[in-house]
Structure 1
Amino acid sequence: MLRDSASPFAPSWFSAAESTYADGQEQRIRSFVRLWRAFMRARVFIAAVLLALQMFVLVTHTGGPDWLVLVCTLHLGATLAVLIWSHPLQQGEPFHLQWLLTIGVDVLVFAVLQYVQQGSINYTPLFALPVLLASILGPLILALATAASVTLFLLGEAWLSAQLLSDVSTARLLQTGLTGTGFFLVALLANQLAMRLAREEAVAQSSQAAARTQAQVNELVIDSMSEGVLVVDTHGVVRNANPAAQAMLMGVTFPHAAQLLLSARPSWSGLFGLVQETFLLGQPLEADITIAHDEHTTHRLSARTRLTTQGGHGADLCVLFLEDLREVEARVRTEKLASMGRMSAAVAHEIRNPLSAITQANALLDEEVQGVGQKRLTHMINQNAQRLARIVDDILNVARALPSQSEAALTLPLDQTVRQITHEWTQQNQAQGVLGVHLHAPTAHVGFDPDHIRRLLVNLLDNAKRHASGTPSSIRVITQTAGNDRARLSVWSDGSPLEASVLRHLFEPFFSSESRSSGLGLYICRELCERYGAQIAYQRTRLDLREGNAFYATMRASGSRAPVQQSLSYPPGDSVPSRTLPDPLRPDDAPSTIR
């Protein structure tokens, strides 16, 4: 059962670390812009109040001159213009024309109102706005300069408004001095507080960015794991699943950004039961589960559960770890057979000495005997001794892990060599009528050791025989040219499609879909091809209206030219009727079908 990704359980591995905020720098800029806009709106509000006050004074004839209405009107227009059309300065920029249009205009207007005031109205508290604006949004030097200008104006205004050295003058100067001191303290403290808050915000955002980075690293690791990871709640809803787990549950058909319910499919009932039992017992469990995607594809999984807790109030989520048992078994086989390989290399070293002694003794014996039967025996001993020597050399070459490179080898006619090898294989395996041979590279010569190309083709034929249906022409061997310097050797069989889990490890050593196979056949084929500069690959193809599996090796060839259609050539005794194949694939054709 698929659930909409817009549900409250949207896919996210670390929801606590993935906040909706932007990164630290952008967040600081947005915070500064919001604070700037708040101050600009406060300026507009104060300007509107002052204009309303002057209009009231003008109507009631209880205040100063009429032109103060014009001053307040211009002040309101200036504040609106700055709010609408200006952009915030970079935080901490000391000197700019915009400071004059904001702080300078405010100080000037408030000074005019304070100087020409009549009656009991006192405009001194308004000077706190430009002081705070400079302290919070600007650097310390701008804040102190604003406080100093306000203090100097107040002192000058007090000195001019009262008789010097009188009691009134002394009191006003003292009051103005205290007010100026207060403005300086406000500027200093507000600036320090703003700087402290900015530092704390920067540290918090830096920590948040580090947490998000760590969460992204962890999520990348989880998404890249070959082991499946599921996060399941108590109702069996899959909150999160990494790509490996998605492939194990639904294969390559897993919908993007979809969520699952483990109880929705019968094939997932084993996982759902394991999760329920884990919640019931309150402890981690392990079990082997089999999931059937369809009639051809199954997964054997090793499942492990772990419980999470939320606030110490019991289990909240179950984390389910899934591992493909085939990969586990393959690793065990690899480690076991790697040890056997090292032992085989040691044994091969020990075989060399007695094998050399046998060869020398056989040569001496061959000089002494005269009978035809005895000569045949010594010749047989010599042939098998040479074969053992080649096997020993191959084992030692694999053990030494020689780099892949093109080796000096004989140049073999491809079609003739394939015809001979398939004829021998047909006779040995009694595959008359099952194997069809289609030769379309009569002029191609490939650089391959005869024994190695024999081993390559025989391994592919043995693999095809294990999976073919056994009906007439259920196995095909096809040769064809692929460009001017390439030839292709293909072995096709009408076997069933390979599972996706098998395809991932097709040419790896010790991996096989059959319990009785060592898993070395295709690996040896790949090693032999790489040794001679060839490439081997697999594809699902259609041939004569039948689907099948094709393994093809593309080899370097000399003397290749456009293929000439020829009748099918079968080993003696092959009962498959002759027919003509279509033109072979060109190198730039899509390798979807062998033609």
Structure 2
Amino acid sequence: MAHEPNSHFQPSWYSAFESAGTEGREQQQRAFDRLWRAFMGARVLVAVVLALLQVFLLVSGISGSLPLTGLSGLYLVFTVLVLVFLRPRHQGRVPPLHWLMTIGVDVATFAIMQSMQTGAVNYTPLFALPVLLGAILGPLTLALGTAASVTLVLLLDAWMASNGLSSQDTTRFVQTGLAGTGLFLVALLAHQLAIRLAREEALAASSQAAARAQARVNEVIIDNLSIGVLVVDLHGVVRNANPAAQHMLMGDRYPEGARLLLSARNGWEHLAALVSDTFAAGQPLETETTIEHDDRPSQRLLARTRLTASEGRRAGLCVLFLEDLREVEARVRTEKLASMGRMSAAVAHEIRNPLTAITQANALLDEEVKEPAQKRLTGMIEQNATRLSRIVDDILNVARVQPSQSAGGAPVVPLDASVRVITGEWNAQVQPGHRLGVHTHAPKVQVAFEPEHLRRLMVNLLDNAERHASAQPASIRVITQPSGAEHVRLSIWSDGPPLEATVLRHLFEPFFSSESRSSGLGLFICRELCQRYGAHIAYQRTQLDQREGNEFYVLLPLAAPPARHSRPPQQAA
């Protein structure tokens, strides 16, 4: 029958771990098992001493007793069995079985030995063992109850040994009372001390767990930093390095689990000198340096050092930070271009009004002129004014947040037909020749997308592919194909070289470009257009016809066909 927790039981000392969750309960059980084994080992040791003592007294004939010898032997066997087979567990209250098999047996055994003693041997000090066992492993109620039962046993033994009210009997009762009082004090003090020690151990375990968790967090942060971090000692030995630093210094050839000497590596002498100067100066230093590689281009780095605090006579460590200068320069350039972009938005807004006036004046002038040469001039003015208007719109679209256009508000266009029209126009204008290949595999698919926006999206991606593609046939591919039940995939692939990691991190950011003449708005505008219509644009390195290349793909949501279809973009004359 299951027992409900008893609210009258005071918590034992190891209950200090109960509020720490699963880990606290495991720590509580480990602490309880450790002390339980210690006490059970002490009981076996006491039983061995008692058995040897009784055998010695029996053999020597001093004051031996065969019943006491047998009792001590049985007690020894019992303590060994309890040590080997009994494994009590804490269950929120004190289970009575293992206490009855330990404290009860101890008190009964020592009481029988005390009453049957025939010589000068006094077994009273042995009663401290069950009292301490109850005080340390059990609740205070059990400890005081054990002390009370031992006191009653001692008083009963003193009363049975008395012959009256002689002075010797009075002394015996006083000594028994003092012994009982001492046992009560021992039980109380041992229990309070055990509680205090348990709280300290629980606090230490909690602090250790928090320290381990913080160390794991720090490891995750350092391992995922794009900045290289090396820990170097006073002798120039690399104690530790995060993955970014390993890749910067040696790429994939960095030896795992090995400590490297900076001065012993070719091309690292300047890093060793920087660390040595930092220890000598006792302050942080920084410099620009270059790492030469055998299997890849050299790498320009910004190296910065920081010293850790020293521990006594031991010198601290030097933390060496390595940062790719290309990424630093790209970040600075991005910040500058972002500032210029905000200024450009203000300028573009001011340009729009006079540009509108120029367009209107050119339209009026076109109505007046009749000669073909003048018509060509007005046509050039109109063409370039339209181009300037689109540039102004691009800048203003970047500067302000565009609301998402619902699928119902966007015109529905057939994707394959639109793709063929747009690629045909781009082919006629750029003339890539045999490099362009168009493969449409979604003939009945329709998407909700503004035709002009779809044109801008594809032209930006095609221009980007044309700049990086090789001169081989079919080095640029445009592919459409269904993707699941709700999307269609539009991909533009080129066989260009892989993008650098520093470029990948800022691929779709505004005003970021790997080319000096580019404004850095192309891919950003593509992403903005896709988000406006619920599409998703991404980049990946893929293989097509056994050739590696760069692929920009757009996942477009399918649109239900309307009653009247919007016409695809018309072929330019």
- What residue identity is the alignment partner of 2:482? G
User: 1:7-58: per-residue Cα shift (whole Å, max 9, x none)?
Assistant: xxxxxxxxxxxxxxx9665455434323222221221222222223333343
Shift in alpha-carbon separation, 1:163–1:303, aligned structure 2, 3 A:
same
Give the Cα–Cα distance (whole angstroms) in 2 for the partners of residues 295 and 507 of structure 1.
30
Residue 492 of structure 1 and its aligned partner are, at CA, apart by: 2.4
Give the Cα–Cα distance (whole angstroms) in 1 for the partners of residues 29 and 76 of structure 2.
27
Shift in alpha-carbon separation, 1:319–1:158, aligned structure 2, 3 A:
same
Name 1:43's counterpart in structure 2.
43
Residue 360 of structure 1 and its aligned partner are, at CA, apart by: 3.6
Give the Cα–Cα distance (whole angstroms) in 2 for the partners of residues 165 and 288 of structure 1.
100
Give the Cα–Cα distance (whole angstroms) in 1 for the partners of residues 349 and 161 of structure 2.
115
Name 2:330's counterpart in structure 1.
330
- What residue identity is the alignment partner of 1:63? S
Shift in alpha-carbon separation, 1:331–1:419, aligned structure 2, 3 A:
same
Give the Cα–Cα distance (whole angstroms) in 2 for the partners of residues 25 and 103 of structure 1.
25
Report 1:170-319 matches (<5 A): 170-251=170-251, 254=254, 257=257, 259-263=259-263, 265-313=265-313, 315-319=315-319
Name 2:500's counterpart in structure 1.
499
2:157 is the counterpart of 1:160: no
Shift in alpha-carbon separation, 1:252–1:446, aligned structure 2, 3 A:
farther
Shift in alpha-carbon separation, 1:339–1:142, aligned structure 2, 3 A:
same
**Other structure's SS at 1:129 match:** helix
Contact 1:425 1:458 in 2 (8 A): no
Shift in alpha-carbon separation, 1:509–1:258, aligned structure 2, 3 A:
farther
**Other structure's SS at 1:235 match:** coil
- What residue identity is the alignment partner of 2:324? D
Name 1:139's counterpart in structure 2.
139
Residue 319 of structure 1 and its aligned partner are, at CA, apart by: 0.2
Contact 2:468 2:494 in 1 (8 A): no
User: 1:507-526: per-residue Cα shift (whole Å, max 9, x none)?
Assistant: 44444444454444444444
Name 2:98's counterpart in structure 1.
98
**Other structure's SS at 1:271 match:** helix
Report 1:549-560 matches (<5 A): 549=550, 551=552
Report how many aligned residue pairs link the two structures: 529
| Alignment root-mean-square deviation, CA | 3.6
2:476 is the counterpart of 1:477: yes
Give the Cα–Cα distance (whole angstroms) in 1 for the partners of residues 217 and 199 of structure 2.
27
Shift in alpha-carbon separation, 1:252–1:305, aligned structure 2, 3 A:
same
Task: Indicate the percent of aligned positions where both proteins have the same amino acid.
Answer: 60
Give the Cα–Cα distance (whole angstroms) in 2 for the partners of residues 487 and 84 of structure 1.
69
Name 1:395's counterpart in structure 2.
395
Name 2:568's counterpart in structure 1.
none
Name 2:427's counterpart in structure 1.
422
Shift in alpha-carbon separation, 1:261–1:456, aligned structure 2, 3 A:
farther
**Other structure's SS at 2:308 match:** strand
Name 1:436's counterpart in structure 2.
435
Report 1:6-25 matches (<5 A): none
Unaligned regions of 5+ residues in structure 2, if any? Answer: 1-21, 561-573
Contact 1:245 1:322 in 2 (8 A): yes
Contact 1:460 1:491 in 2 (8 A): no
Name 2:537's counterpart in structure 1.
535
Shift in alpha-carbon separation, 1:402–1:260, aligned structure 2, 3 A:
farther
Unaligned regions of 5+ residues in structure 1, if any? Answer: 1-21, 560-595
Output the TM-score relative to the length of structure 1. 0.77
Residue 465 of structure 1 and its aligned partner are, at CA, apart by: 5.3
Give the Cα–Cα distance (whole angstroms) in 2 for the partners of residues 47 and 558 of structure 1.
88
Shift in alpha-carbon separation, 1:437–1:466, aligned structure 2, 3 A:
closer
Give the Cα–Cα distance (whole angstroms) in 2 for the partners of residues 301 and 359 of structure 1.
51
Give the Cα–Cα distance (whole angstroms) in 2 for the partners of residues 538 and 41 of structure 1.
66
Shift in alpha-carbon separation, 1:168–1:486, aligned structure 2, 3 A:
closer
Indicate the larger mover: 507-516 or 106-115. Answer: 507-516
Residue 160 of structure 1 and its aligned partner are, at CA, apart by: 1.8
Shift in alpha-carbon separation, 1:264–1:333, aligned structure 2, 3 A:
same
Indicate the larger mover: 111-120 or 46-55. Answer: 46-55
- What residue identity is the alignment partner of 2:541? Q
Give the Cα–Cα distance (whole angstroms) in 2 for the partners of residues 529 and 298 of structure 1.
38
Contact 1:291 1:298 in 2 (8 A): yes
Give the Cα–Cα distance (whole angstroms) in 2 for the partners of residues 145 and 510 of structure 1.
81
Residue 255 of structure 1 and its aligned partner are, at CA, apart by: 5.7
Contact 2:461 2:492 in 1 (8 A): no
Contact 1:107 1:150 in 2 (8 A): yes
Shift in alpha-carbon separation, 1:101–1:200, aligned structure 2, 3 A:
same
Contact 1:50 1:72 in 2 (8 A): yes
Residue 497 of structure 1 and its aligned partner are, at CA, apart by: 4.3
Contact 2:466 2:476 in 1 (8 A): no
Residue 500 of structure 1 and its aligned partner are, at CA, apart by: 3.7
Give the Cα–Cα distance (whole angstroms) in 2 for the partners of residues 114 and 331 of structure 1.
87
Shift in alpha-carbon separation, 1:396–1:142, aligned structure 2, 3 A:
same
Residue 89 of structure 1 and its aligned partner are, at CA, apart by: 4.7
Give the Cα–Cα distance (whole angstroms) in 2 for the partners of residues 62 and 315 of structure 1.
69
Give the Cα–Cα distance (whole angstroms) in 2 for the partners of residues 41 and 550 of structure 1.
72
Contact 1:282 1:315 in 2 (8 A): no
**Other structure's SS at 1:483 match:** strand
Shift in alpha-carbon separation, 1:223–1:60, aligned structure 2, 3 A:
same
Output the TM-score relative to the length of structure 2. 0.80
Residue 229 of structure 1 and its aligned partner are, at CA, apart by: 1.5
Indicate the larger mover: 514-523 or 65-74. Answer: 514-523
**Other structure's SS at 2:63 match:** coil
User: 1:399-446: per-residue Cα shift (whole Å, max 9, x none)?
Assistant: 1132565754765542343133122212xxxx6x6x523333395887
User: 1:289-308: per-residue Cα shift (whole Å, max 9, x none)?
Assistant: 22344554443221100122
Contact 1:103 1:130 in 2 (8 A): yes
Q: Which has the higher helix share?
A: 2
- What residue identity is the alignment partner of 2:188? L
Residue 146 of structure 1 and its aligned partner are, at CA, apart by: 1.4
Shift in alpha-carbon separation, 1:348–1:444, aligned structure 2, 3 A:
farther
Residue 278 of structure 1 and its aligned partner are, at CA, apart by: 2.3
Give the Cα–Cα distance (whole angstroms) in 1 for the partners of residues 147 and 362 of structure 2.
114
Contact 1:44 1:79 in 2 (8 A): yes
